[in-house]
Amino acid sequence: MAKYLGPRGKVVRRLDYPVFESLKFASPKRNYPPGQHGNTLRRKVSTYGLQLREKQQGRIP
């Protein structure tokens, strides 16, 4: 699999989990996901959403 070259900070904020080894992105400065509507309240994640998040965490690094 190829090395991920995209925006790492956005990925860490979206997954709410430090997926990269670099300490620069270990703990995000903003505690909300990226995007236009990211700074609103987080909604409860469905079981499918949890499974998808775990799958994406495995794919990124």
Tokens of 11: 């990925």
Give the lowest-confidence range in 8-12, 29-33, 34-38: 29-33
46 alpha-carbon distance from chain centroid? 16
Residue whose pair of structure tokens reads 């990925």 in the numeric block: 11
For the chain, the structural domain boundaries read: 18-34+44-61
What angle is formed at CA 17 by the lines to CA 14 and CA 13, rounded to 5 degrees? 30
pLDDT at 10: 75
Whether the predicted pLDDT of 6 surpasses 70: yes
Long-range contacts of 44-53 (CB under 8 A, 24+ apart): 53/15, 53/17
